[in-house]
Structure 1
């Protein structure tokens, strides 16, 4: 297998055209024919050579240089100088040999063509110097079009802006945002022309908040496509963004958190990579910046017999997750920085206090959004989130806040519960109903279901409880009752989610399924469920409702409520259609119908095996 060709350094790239220029000048001066034309050619080549040497000196003196336009312009100039060299070489010999004369016929037009090429090359290299060394007095960015980009003006503008960003000029980053807009092709050019590393450099090294803000804006604008997100990640963008997020001013943090959300949503590899960089801890710290966890003392004190025990448990939980216990302060800011320098913490705290509540709320809502996108489907990130004080913070915010922030926090809990549903260790460590943290979260989920009217709140709370169905003991009937009540909700989506959640309480993998089934019947769940099946959209199979009914029939088939609501007749009526669409449900329907026929009179039709 052949080795990949290593890219030449800029000095190596420049050395070739400079050497070609020297040879072309030498041959032009030695010309035996077309001497005036060769003298003009030598002058043009000398000017190009002089400017190329200026570029070489500049690149040698600069620690970091934007090389894309240099390489492209140099390659183009090299072709022009090759033409000039070939032309001047033909003019060195006297026409004494007839064959040589025939093979080297030169016309004035040949010199005109080469002269035009050299003029373009000189214009290109002059433009190159202008973007590498912009006017230091007025700081303007050269947006003129060099000949090399005459057919693609976007290329020249992108080069100019990226070169300016490379030199730390924040206004150029914002100009890149404006230039790209919603134009996918322009964004592609920015990435192809290596525009991401300078933006990340601006974000990483610049202490100016305007510069960081502009870089974050530009990266967010580019991160709307998976390939571009991969390009950001490949340029160590995840590490740089995670680090910047922990130290940037609050207004910049809002932009960075939104950038994290966008990248995570579109790329699962990036989702895991952000988790490995512990961005979750920073997000939880920002989310809980003003959350007073002292209130959780009251949770313990209100529980008479076990108040001291619960208080000890909460303190242990806080210490395990990196906090200082309930007596250690009112916020999570201590987790934000790992250097432990109190002066920097105080300075950061002052900056936060100076920010408006609008900015703080926007940051918190963005952090919650980023957390649920990080948690969604990711065991790694879900574990990292629950290992912090996140669940306590989320419970407090769900209780106290309203609007977008409250909805986003409920969504975080929902997605954490969804991951925990299929992982016993996470479910046990984070959501045990008898643990202080698990109780705090469960109390808020039940409060939302019982008290809130917004569908955007009730649905994620219902989904979360459904995912945790296997963690609840049989005596925990306070959960069943509100879910049963939701079966009669006027919003069909809420009712369907309630049916789906209750279905997880009574299916065969739930140890307490019979007790839960009895509770559903006791709380008048069967009439509500049957009414839902009768009044629902007949054009669509009400799968979750039917699965719940089947499991109730299997677990408590002798219930009078099932007989009175003619459950057997309903199941027999839809069974054939249901198993046609979902063959995996054949056995469930067969068991349910068989169980009901043992206790109820009526038709005895069975599904054929």
Structure 2
């Protein structure tokens, strides 16, 4: 990643140095050229900082591409001001508006690169103040909002990453196009990472976002190729029950929009794990009416059984079941989502 960043930033840094040097040797419009030099030098400092930082690649490429174009125009302008000889100066026409326009573009580039550095900062270096939108966001503010949330997923703390996932859930739910942008701008890998290693709230939000992003076969294919199957399989095998419920829903959403992904789910044992959860619910329901075994009952259970005229109604609930048993409302949610999964899993697709 560091090598890619340096490679992208090499030419803009060189252009900034050339603009600064050319502005010093200007023979006409000296004051205007010195103003451009001052802003170019400030931009060069920010570009060198970006070269040393670990920047989020998608916005960096877009911002640096625009910055490079601005520096190319600035260099062409100051080179015209270096014309020697009376005849060259006479026939070199430079509109006064050209300097104002170039100066404004350099200011915008400074704002864009400054935003890039702030949004790419690590959790320890980032302050709590609102980052705002960079000048590049004038035409598409939602894109920069998505960039900011994905950048936080890359470099933020677990709490910040969880909040960023919630924001992406809101965006993906509101508009299909926003979901497409999240995928195109590289939002899937950090969401998978959060689902794999985050806290429970973060895992829930990440799984929910992934389920919402799979609105069409192309998007589902992208999510599957990014490694969602192995992440979801691990959660279904050993994750918290509440997270498993969201994952079951996400699996049903992905399969509903691209049935052929069932093969990938089967290869990663997701179908088997979902069926085992359904079986566990059935066993848990039947266990309410099982005859208690005195060998496995506690002293308190034995006393209660001896005082109970109808011992057949005493439930046999193992320690594992107690640990995994969620509240009643959550069981109902899981039953509904898993039943939906079961329907598509058992329905053949063409």
What TM bracket, shorter-length normalisation?
0.7 to 0.9
1:173 equivalent in structure 2: 165
CA shift at 1:52, angstroms?
1.2
1:161 equivalent in structure 2: 149
Question: 1:38 aligned to 2:30?
Answer: no
Q: CA RMSD in A?
A: 2.7
Structure exhibiting the larger radius of gyration computed from Cα positions: 1
- The correspondence for 1:152, drawn from 137, 140, 144, is 140
Q: Find the aligned partners of 2:25 and 2:84 in 1 and give their Cα distance.
A: 11
Question: 1:201 aligned to 2:172?
Answer: no
Q: Which has the higher contact order (CA 8 A, sep 6+)?
A: 2
Q: Find the aligned partners of 1:245 and 1:224 in 2 and give their Cα distance.
A: 22
- The correspondence for 2:56, drawn from 66, 75, 82, is 66
Assess if the C-alpha contact under 8 Å between 2:26 and 2:78 holds in 1: yes
Assess if the C-alpha contact under 8 Å between 1:216 and 1:255 holds in 2: yes
Assess if the C-alpha contact under 8 Å between 1:258 and 1:366 holds in 2: yes
Assess if the C-alpha contact under 8 Å between 1:24 and 1:81 holds in 2: yes
- The correspondence for 2:107, drawn from 119, 128, 135, is 119
Q: Find the aligned partners of 2:261 and 2:280 in 1 and give their Cα distance.
A: 26
Assess if the C-alpha contact under 8 Å between 2:176 and 2:215 holds in 1: no
Q: Deviations over 1:158-217 (max 9, x none)?
A: 1111111222511011011123333122222212212112111211232x1111111012
Q: Deviations over 1:279-329 (max 9, x none)?
A: 122112222235449x8xxxxxxxxxxxxxxxxxxxxxxxxxxxxxxxxxx
1:81 equivalent in structure 2: 71
Q: Deviations over 1:239-288 (max 9, x none)?
A: 32222332221111111000101111221221111111111221122222
Q: Find the aligned partners of 1:290 and 1:55 in 2 and give their Cα distance.
A: 53
- The correspondence for 1:352, drawn from 324, 328, 334, is 324
- The correspondence for 1:55, drawn from 50, 68, 75, is 50
2:216 equivalent in structure 1: 225
Assess if the C-alpha contact under 8 Å between 2:118 and 2:126 holds in 1: no
TM-score, normalising length: structure 1: 0.48
Give the aligned length. Answer: 315
Residue pairs, 1:123-522, within 5 angstroms: 123-133=111-121, 136=124, 140=128, 142=130, 144-168=132-156, 169-206=161-198, 208-292=199-283, 351-353=323-325, 355-377=326-348
Q: Helix, strand or coil for the counterpart of 1:174?
A: helix
C-alpha distance 116-280 of structure 1, shift in aligned 2 (>3 A): same
CA shift at 1:103, angstroms?
5.2
1:412 equivalent in structure 2: none
Q: Find the aligned partners of 1:226 and 1:139 in 2 and give their Cα distance.
A: 39
C-alpha distance 173-103 of structure 1, shift in aligned 2 (>3 A): farther
